[in-house]
Structure 1
Amino acid sequence: MSYPPPPQGQDPNNPYGQQQPPGYGYQQAPQGVPPQGQPGYGYPQQGQPMGPPMGQPQYGYPQQPGYGYNPVGAPRDYAGWGSRVGGTIVDGLIAGVPYGVLALAGFAMGDSGMILVVLGVLVYIGVMLWMLYQEGTTGQSPGKKMVNVRLVKESTGQPIGFGMAFLRKLAHILDSLACYLGWLWPLWDAKSQTFADKVCGTVVVTAN
């Protein structure tokens, strides 16, 4: 009995279209290795750069320093001794003149004028605290602003804050010891620092 020829394209040895198991001439790729010509996942492709794309920020790298930052060793334009003295004189006049006027008027009135003397002291303390706040938060008291200088922390180049400005004011006691030598020290010091500046780690620079 003759059988009809198989359909075109069908293996004559497999007339029923059953799938043959892999045998001779068939190589199965090892597990975990992608077929030839297909990219493997998790592996960098040839010519593809590793890391984030160009132009995108890379986390973990140091950022650019902010405005006003001036690390140790960076060149600074330190304020001259004359400018520092001028700013101190201006601040002294701003705080001292109101006190002087009230105190003189109170002493002239005798016992009844003591209230003016006390008021003058309170005004002096209030003005001094306000100027210390300005100096600590902005780097400039009214006198320093007039002569265009600024008080900053040597290590950061930033204002030192009210608390440190208050401590620096107390540290000026060291400048008055030994015949006021500390007040003259900026004349020959490389960083134009007084003793108080060296203790508190501050410098006075020209304001930009």
Structure 2
Amino acid sequence: MSFGDPNNPYGQQGQPGQPQPGQPQPGYGYPQQAPQGVPPQGYGYPQQPGQPYGAYPQGQPGYGGGMPELAHWGLRFGGKLIDGLLYVVPYFILVAGASSDGGIGPVLALVGGLAMLGIFIWQVIQEGSTGQTVGKKVVGIRLLRENDGQPIGAGMAFVRGLAHFLDNIACYIGWLWPLWDQKKQTFADKVCSTVVVKSK
């Protein structure tokens, strides 16, 4: 006697959890049914109660339900000015000290150069990880990726700094581009797909 034998009583009984002959088989081509009482899950982040569909979960930086207000040119200029002073003032203090005392002048100039380099590296790391340099934080703006509203990372922040060369070569017109651009972007922002938004 085999299990396929029609006289075999065990061959006619379905096993628990197995579909009966003639019933549709779950798998490709059939929608999967969720257990009763369990809502279907969508793609992306798990949705939290009371959270709009597509929004980032709590604690995640990003646009969420919509893009924040873009920062106008005046705020961007103010942030850039503060950052520039952060580089220049300590250096000129050291240079002034060097010129008043010729014996340690070269040492102070070297210290000033190293201080500027250290500030630059720290600013790039801060801008990449939080979207804010010291100047941006003071004026209340933030640099983010255009497509998802996330910070761009230190490497991309450095690349964007190099891309400001494009803002300089056409008589500095790239720095003024946010005045009339729909997304208020400089040429560097367009190349790197970044936007500057208000953070408060």
TM over 0.5: yes
Preserved contact between residue 34 and residue 40 of structure 2 (Cα < 8 Å): no
Deviation by residue 1:159-203 (Cα, 9 ceiling, x = unmatched): 111111111111111111121100000000111100111111111
Alignment CA distance shift 1:207-1:62 (3 Å): same
How far did 1:147 drift? Answer: 0.6
Identity level (%) = 48
Q: Which structure is larger by alpha-carbon Rg, 1 or 2?
A: 1
Cα distance in 2 between the residues matched to 1:77 and 1:166: 24
In the alignment, structure 1 residue 54 sits paired with structure 2 residue 37: yes
Preserved contact between residue 127 and residue 143 of structure 2 (Cα < 8 Å): yes
Deviation by residue 1:10-34 (Cα, 9 ceiling, x = unmatched): xxxxxxxxxxxxxxxxxxx9x6478
Deviation by residue 1:71-124 (Cα, 9 ceiling, x = unmatched): 8xx544100100000011111112211111001211332364111111111111
Cα distance in 2 between the residues matched to 1:62 and 1:75: 18
In the alignment, structure 1 residue 109 sits paired with structure 2 residue 101: yes
Counterpart residue identity of residue 81, structure 1: W
Preserved contact between residue 70 and residue 155 of structure 1 (Cα < 8 Å): no
SS at match of 2:81: helix
Structure 2 residue runs of 5 or longer lacking an equivalent are 1-8, 24-31, 48-55
Q: Residues 1-208 of structure 1 correspond to what in structure 2 (within 5 A)?
A: 32=12, 42=19, 50-56=33-39, 58=41, 61-63=43-45, 64=47, 65-66=56-57, 67-70=60-63, 74-110=66-102, 112-208=104-200
Preserved contact between residue 143 and residue 151 of structure 2 (Cα < 8 Å): yes
Cα distance in 2 between the residues matched to 1:191 and 1:76: 12
Alignment CA distance shift 1:40-1:148 (3 Å): closer
Runs of 4+ aligned structure 1 residues displaced above 4 Å come to none
CA RMSD of aligned residues (A): 2.8
Preserved contact between residue 33 and residue 40 of structure 1 (Cα < 8 Å): no
Structure 1 residue runs of 5 or longer lacking an equivalent are 1-28
Q: TM-score, normalised by structure 2?
A: 0.74
Matched positions, count? 170
